[in-house]
């Protein structure tokens, strides 16, 4: 089972003169996408007992995502008000004292042996105590299972840049797979090309660095020849959840080829990475073609032309 540990929230998406509440959150979206693809998936994050918490649980259940590790909380659900400019999403978060924000390292459950990989990222890495909790989780399991990291950096959410950069530096050193968007790259290593950034990250220990580039497709750097995949041409509704869905495609593809394990990563092949890029870009194309974070189901991916 691939365990996704990180934020869930309610995206308040503009709809005319009003806002429509939609379940979301970077790591939550990846868990939903993995579950819809038919991958054995679990989710770990506190879920509020408020109305929005029930709204978050429903899609997880529909996607057959295991929520047995999710603690329930009387604290409120995080809200993210979305602004769309040319289809690109920007966010304003209301998170102080929320159910997820207050997750502490001592609140972490025991991780069962059935968990075969861990995915982390998003705003859950930024503040404490939840950021410290995610880091503690990675430290606990990384020697046994692969870890994928997508920082999904939101600069306006970062109160202490030095502390956040230090945490990302530690997490990159513990991760096996790292995904960066163009915005992530600009913030993390200003002025660096993707090739330069990827080389620096690979030198820290990760096996593969992925970059998503919207209509430019996606790329992967690893110990072999760099690989790329073209983006599918679709009419874009918005980009909410696109990178999160890409992550799910990567993880699902590597899991299917048997590469998503400690032993599998030692035998990582160009073909396996190419399949991961292909599934990630195909899945993300469907997500951007419809409003909100609405990842594809397995039958929708099968119906797409190769």
- Distance between CA atoms of 150 and 50, rounded to whole angstroms? 28
Task: Count the neighbouring beta carbons within 10 Å of the beta carbon of residue 179.
Answer: 26
**Residue 109 backbone phi and psi in degrees, to 5:** -80, 170
**Degrees, nearest 5: CA angle 143-163-159:** 130
What local confidence, expressed as pLDDT, does residue 82 receive? 82
Q: Which residues make Cβ contacts (< 8 Å) with residue 31, sequence separation at least 6?
A: 4, 41, 42, 43, 60, 63, 65, 119, 248
Contact at 8 Å (CB) between 38 and 301?
A: no
Contact 266, 250 (CB under 8 A): no
The answer to whether 237 and 291 are in contact (CB under 8 A) is: yes
Task: Give the pLDDT of residue 123.
Answer: 94
Identify the pLDDT of residue 78. 94
Q: Give the residue ranges of DSSP H helices in the chain.
A: 26-36, 51-62, 130-141, 161-174, 182-188, 194-202, 242-256, 262-266, 270-288, 298-303
66 DSSP 8-state letter: B
The pLDDT assigned to 90 comes to 78
Q: How far apart are CA 275 and CA 216, in angstroms?
A: 17
pLDDT in tens, the chain (306 residues): 999 999 999 989 888 888 989 899 999 999 999 999 999 999 999 999 999 999 999 999 999 999 999 999 999 999 989 887 776 777 788 899 999 999 999 999 999 999 999 999 999 999 999 999 999 999 999 999 999 999 999 998 999 999 999 999 999 999 999 999 999 999 999 999 999 999 999 999 999 999 998 778 899 999 999 999 987 888 887 778 899 999 999 999 999 999 999 999 999 999 999 999 999 999 999 998 888 789 999 999 886 655
Buried/exposed code over 56-78 (b: 16+ C-beta within 10 A; e: otherwise)? bbebbeebebbbebbeebebbbb
Distance CA 161, CA 103 (A): 21
**Paired tokens of 268:** 């990582």
Domain positions in the chain are 2-301
Exposed e or buried b per residue across 23-50, where buried means at least 16 C-beta atoms within 10 angstroms of its C-beta: bbbbbbbbbbbbbbbebebbbbbbbbeb
Cα(33)–Cα(12) distance, integer angstroms: 20
141 by DSSP, 3-state: which?
helix
Q: Is-contact 34 298, C-beta < 8 A?
A: no
Q: β-strands 41-44, 208-212: how paired?
A: unpaired
The dihedrals phi and psi of 151, each to the nearest 5 degrees, come to: -65, -30
State residue 217's pLDDT score: 87
2-301 CATH: 3.40.1190.20
Contact 101, 131 (CB under 8 A): no
């Amino acid at each position: 089972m691939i365990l996704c540990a990180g934020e869930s929230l309610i995206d308040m998406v503009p709809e005319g003169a009003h806002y429509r509440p939609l379940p979301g959150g970077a790591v939550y979206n990846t868990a939903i996408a993995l579950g819809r693809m038919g991958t054995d998936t679990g989710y770990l994050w506190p879920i509020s007992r408020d109305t929005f918490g029930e709204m978050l649980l429903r899609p997880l259940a529909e996607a057959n995502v295991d929520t047995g590790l999710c603690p329930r909380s009387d604290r409120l659900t995080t809200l993210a008000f979305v602004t769309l400019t040319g289809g690109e999403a920007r966010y304003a978060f209301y998170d102080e004292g929320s159910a997820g924000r207050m997750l502490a390292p001592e609140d972490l459950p025991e991780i069962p042996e059935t968990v075969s990989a861990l995915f982390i990222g998003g705003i859950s890495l930024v503040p404490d105590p939840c950021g410290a909790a995610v880091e503690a989780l990675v430290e606990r399991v990384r020697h046994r299972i692969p870890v994928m990291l997508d920082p999904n950096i939101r600069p306006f959410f970062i109160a202490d840049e030095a502390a956040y950069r230090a945490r990302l530096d530690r997490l990159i050193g513990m991760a096996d797979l790292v995904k960066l968007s163009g915005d992530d790259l600009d913030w993390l290593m200003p002025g660096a090309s993707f090739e330069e950034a990827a080389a620096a990250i690979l030198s820290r220990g990760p096996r593969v660095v992925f970059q998503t580039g919207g209509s430019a497709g996606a790329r992967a750097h690893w110990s072999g020849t760099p690989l790329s995949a073209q983006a599918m041409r679709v009419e874009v509704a918005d980009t909410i959840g696109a990178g999160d869905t890409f992550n799910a495609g990567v993880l699902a593809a590597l899991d299917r080829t048997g590469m998503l394990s400690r032993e599998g990563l030692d035998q990582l092949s160009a073909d396996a990475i190419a399949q991961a890029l292909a599934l990630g870009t195909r899945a993300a194309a469907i997500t951007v073609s419809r409003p909100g974070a609405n990842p594809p189901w397995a039958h929708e991916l099968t119906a797409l032309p190769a």
